Amino acid sequence: MLPKKSSMLYNILFLILCGGIFVFLWSAPAETTKRMPYNDIHKKFYTMQKSTADKQCSTCHNPEGVVPLPKKHPAKYRCLFCHKKVK
């Protein structure tokens, strides 16, 4: 067994670590990504699996499409990873 002083030190370090992680997660910015709209166009994607729906997003969301993506838009093949479905 550890001496009492050493054990107390580990407990304090553990609590400081947990507190640091808590503060880090608490101060995370709010989610700003737009959710996938629930309208006549997007309604059919709500019943599909994410991987199947992701493949169809680029038919409208492309440079010549209805809603082009910004130039700096990341990961164009994982749409529903960020653009979650409206509950």
Tens-digit pLDDT profile for residues 77-87? 888 888 998 87
With tokens 């992680």, the residue in question is: 21
Beta bridge partners of 46: none
Task: Give the three-state DSSP class for 36.
Answer: strand
Answer yes or no: do 76 and 54 share one domain: yes
Ranges of beta strands (E only) in the chain are none
Answer yes or no: do 20 and 50 share one domain: no
**Do the domain assignments include residue 36?**
no
| Type of residue numbered 54 | D
Q: pLDDT band at residue 33, thresholds of 50, 70 and 90?
A: confident
**Which domain, by its residues, includes 50?**
43-82
Total domains, the chain: 2
69, 59, 65, 60: which is closest to 33 by C-alpha? 69
Answer yes or no: do 26 and 48 share one domain: no
- 1 has pLDDT over 80: no
pTM: 0.60
